[in-house]
Structure 1
Amino acid sequence: MDASLTDKDASLTDKESSLPITEQPSHYDHLETRSVIDLLRDMNIEDQKVAPTIEKVLPTVAQLVEQIVPRMRKGGRIFYLGAGTSGRLGVLDASELPPTFGVPPTFVIGLIAGGDTALRNAVEKAEDDSDAGWQELLAHGVNQEDTVIGIAASGTTPYVVGAVEKAHDHGILTGCITSNPHTPLAAAADVAIEMIVGPEFITGSSRMKSGTGQKMILNMISTAVMIRLGRVKGNRMVNMQLTNQKLIDRGTRMLVEALHIDYSKARRLLLLHGSVEKALEEHSL
């Protein structure tokens, strides 16, 4: 057994085993006495548990995606709700979609307990308000074509649970990503993604494995949805925003390859039409 593992790993006390998984003691102890390379190796060991765990819930992720797509084709949106790390990851995923896939920023919206201030600073007790998330959804005109996805490692965050419960009661498709089984959040969601990655390397620090898993699943959901909605051709981001020279060059090379034209002509076409997809459409007319 690794020297970093504690004696109690083999058998948790009754009190410890009754804790939610995200609060159970780390398998590692005396971290302050360990070398940097040992700390990194042990963190890496724990990180390697995330992908196989996500593999187990892929059918559930697929179920959620397949219900989202027809709603978005009718004008629906995705709302992510979370607090702390979970909220920041939702906002991150939402904010990356417009430049990557050329969709408006209202297509996928990330809401975090405490508002934008909470992206950089903790907002005291913001996550404990069980009505705030629903009120924010109402302010965005949430409706039955939309999808609300709650993100909470604990599965008990009032800001998230309250919003998902209200959305479900109003006939809105709801999903969730959590790291504990049988939580109030999962009970409130139509599609519950229970990603059980085990105790964190630092006890209770769900910014680690849980956060890594949340990011991976959010990537999967949003990317699969965008592909299904036709925002990708082949394996290329043909709707990406041309916000810098690197992306202009990437788009130009896509046109060179697709149309068998020289680089300068491809670049002129790209800049004229504003996206690879539009340039391809216009060139084929």
Structure 2
Amino acid sequence: MLRTDVPPLTAEDLGRLATEQHRPDRADIDLLPTAELVRLMTRDDAQVPEAVHAASEDIARAVDVAAARLAAGGRLVYMGAGTAGRIGVLDASECVPTFNTAPGQVVGLIAGGPEAITLPVEGAEDDEGMAVEHLRAIRLTAQDVVCGIAASGRTPYAVAGVRHARRAGAATIGVSCSPDSPLGRNADIAIEVAVGPEFITGSTRLKAGTAQKLVVNALSTATMIRLGKTYGNLMVDLRASNDKLRKRSQRIVALATGAEMRDVVAALDACDDEVKTAIHVLLAGTTAEQARSALNDHGGSMRGALGAHAPAAP
């Protein structure tokens, strides 16, 4: 079995972790009026964005690495257990409709497999061998980026996955809420967000979970922006798979081009609902085929494909 530098955990060790600290000032929360209980909890939550902001430079480093790897044909692979694993699976699944990523370009792996998305799987987070099996099953390559997520920074599944990926030549990222963690030490880039003790002792689905979600939001979104998946702040690569998204596509094309809605609808119809293609047709006066060719020549970049036709950022 793959060995990591995660030593056996004792109750005393657990109590030393930043995410497991007990707060005596919250010992009476079950006696508080509901309004006061919620006020204290939301005040705690308000600290999370600033803690994530403090890790901006590390997140930016991770974005640049991920964008370069994905541009070369690699994948972004999230790995985690429990809440952390579910956050990775969620972010991976949302990249398809939001950015029209290719199937399997962003992957979410969770300890225990798909069943663990909705139900706990006993002992899965401690299974280092499972992490390696999961990476082998997706045929990990040196072009890929593996992002381990663990609030404590010491979940064996996440640490083992990152260590195996690094040995295979993949770029590695560790997202945790504990300083100098085994996950961070095993990763090329450590993103450690100090959110402090939880409102309920050890319940890392709270502040730590929120911090991890904000980090992966920034990681995947900024990576997709670098890959030309947006035009300004418009989701020009979204996949219109339902009526709401079709209406959103129309609004995006209208915002990007300033065209009348009847012209927007006509352009989208002529372009098989491809937002980027419709924008190019309206701004550059091309056919749908010419627009697709221009986009393909510029790696899908809206600005590159428009060239001299590109207006100011929408």
Instruction: Compute the RMSD of aligned alpha carbons.
Output: 1.6
Aligned residue for 1:200, secondary structure, equals: coil
Work out the CA distance in 1 between the residues paired with 2:122 and 2:246. 43
For residues 95-244 of structure 1, the aligned pairs below 5 Å read: 95-244=93-242
Work out the CA distance in 2 between the residues paired with 1:77 and 1:42. 40
Work out the CA distance in 1 between the residues paired with 2:78 and 2:185. 17
Q: Note the alpha carbon deviations across 1:193-245, whole angstroms, 9 max, x for none.
A: 11110000000000000000000010000000000000000110011111222
* Displacement over 4 Å in runs of 4+: 15-18
Work out the CA distance in 2 between the residues paired with 1:55 and 1:265. 41
Give the TM-score, by structure 2 length: 0.83
Per the alignment, residue 65 of structure 1 pairs with: 63
What is the Cα deviation at residue 181 of structure 1? 1.0
How many residues align? The count is 271
Work out the CA distance in 2 between the residues paired with 1:18 and 1:36. 28
Aligned residue for 2:253, secondary structure, equals: helix
Unaligned runs of 5+ in 1: 1-14
Work out the CA distance in 1 between the residues paired with 2:29 and 2:70. 47
Amino acid at match of 2:218: M
> Which of 86, 89, 92 is the aligned partner of 2:87?
89
- The 1:167–1:257 alpha-carbon spacing in structure 2 relative to 1, beyond 3 Å, is closer
> Which of 6, 18, 40 is the aligned partner of 1:21?
18
Per the alignment, residue 80 of structure 1 pairs with: 78
Per the alignment, residue 253 of structure 1 pairs with: 251
What is the Cα deviation at residue 248 of structure 1? 1.5
Of all paired residues, the percent bearing the same amino acid is 40
Work out the CA distance in 2 between the residues paired with 1:254 and 1:210. 34
Given that residues 25 and 203 in structure 1 are in contact (C-alpha distance below 8 angstroms), is that contact kept between their aligned partners in structure 2?
A: yes
Per the alignment, residue 279 of structure 1 pairs with: 278
Per the alignment, residue 10 of structure 1 pairs with: none
Given that residues 16 and 24 in structure 1 are in contact (C-alpha distance below 8 angstroms), is that contact kept between their aligned partners in structure 2?
A: no
Per the alignment, residue 49 of structure 2 pairs with: 51
Please identify, of 271-280 and 40-49, the stretch whose mean Cα deviation from structure 2 is larger: 271-280
Amino acid at match of 1:241: R
Unaligned runs of 5+ in 2: 1-11, 287-314
Q: Note the alpha carbon deviations across 1:37-96, whole angstroms, 9 max, x for none.
A: 111111111111111111211101111111111111110100000000000000011111
Per the alignment, residue 266 of structure 2 pairs with: 268
What is the Cα deviation at residue 252 of structure 1? 1.4
Please identify, of 251-260 and 54-63, the stretch whose mean Cα deviation from structure 2 is larger: 251-260
Work out the CA distance in 2 between the residues paired with 1:46 and 1:190. 31
Give the TM-score, by structure 1 length: 0.91
Q: Note the alpha carbon deviations across 1:14-43, whole angstroms, 9 max, x for none.
A: x79961111110341122111111111111
What is the Cα deviation at residue 258 of structure 1? 3.6
- The 1:175–1:32 alpha-carbon spacing in structure 2 relative to 1, beyond 3 Å, is same
What is the Cα deviation at residue 281 of structure 1? 2.7
What is the Cα deviation at residue 267 of structure 1? 1.2
- The 1:258–1:31 alpha-carbon spacing in structure 2 relative to 1, beyond 3 Å, is closer
Aligned residue for 1:153, secondary structure, equals: coil
Given that residues 76 and 144 in structure 2 are in contact (C-alpha distance below 8 angstroms), is that contact kept between their aligned partners in structure 1?
A: yes
